[in-house]
Amino acid sequence: MTVQEQISEYINSHPEHQKADLQELHRIILELIPDCKLMFIDDEKNDERPTFSHTRIGYGLRFTEDMAIIPQEYPKIEMDASSYGITIAINELHDKTYLMRTFGEKIGKASITGLFIKFKELKDINIETLEAAIRYGYEQNS
């Protein structure tokens, strides 16, 4: 199965309201960073990272050495969904307060912590602000 097929299957596996938001966010991210490498990460199937267990879509590529695990490819931006809502992770930020300081008051009904922007539904947030955060995160160390 191709990465794009895995992503489509992942998006389609969510409840209808979340599926529509995930499809729209996926489209937005690909429009913002069309040249990015797409990744589909399923940690439950990854024996090298047994302490993590969630599935997500990755955009862009960075190289990391974290938690004394062998160096690996890792996405700059990630998106995943659960029963709690949707999470966008911006992995390239060195200042873990940047997202909150820069986008916190403008993003709408979202929780921002360190590298994560979490929200229930796309309609609850300011899309332009989310786009600016994603663009900024992607461009770091590019």
The pLDDT value given to residue 71:
53
The pLDDT value given to residue 44:
62
The pLDDT value given to residue 119:
97
In contact, 53 and 43? CB cutoff 8 Å: yes
The pLDDT value given to residue 50:
43
In contact, 138 and 77? CB cutoff 8 Å: yes
Handedness of CA 111, 64, 34, 94 (dihedral sign): positive
| DSSP string for 89-110 | EETT-S-TTHHHHHHTTTSBS-
In contact, 86 and 80? CB cutoff 8 Å: yes
pLDDT per residue as tens, the chain (142 positions): 999 999 999 999 999 999 999 999 999 999 999 999 999 998 765 455 444 447 999 999 876 655 455 556 789 999 999 988 999 999 878 889 999 999 999 999 999 999 999 999 999 999 999 999 999 999 885 5
Query: What's the rounded Cα separation, in Å, for the pair 6 and 93?
Result: 27
The pLDDT value given to residue 38:
95
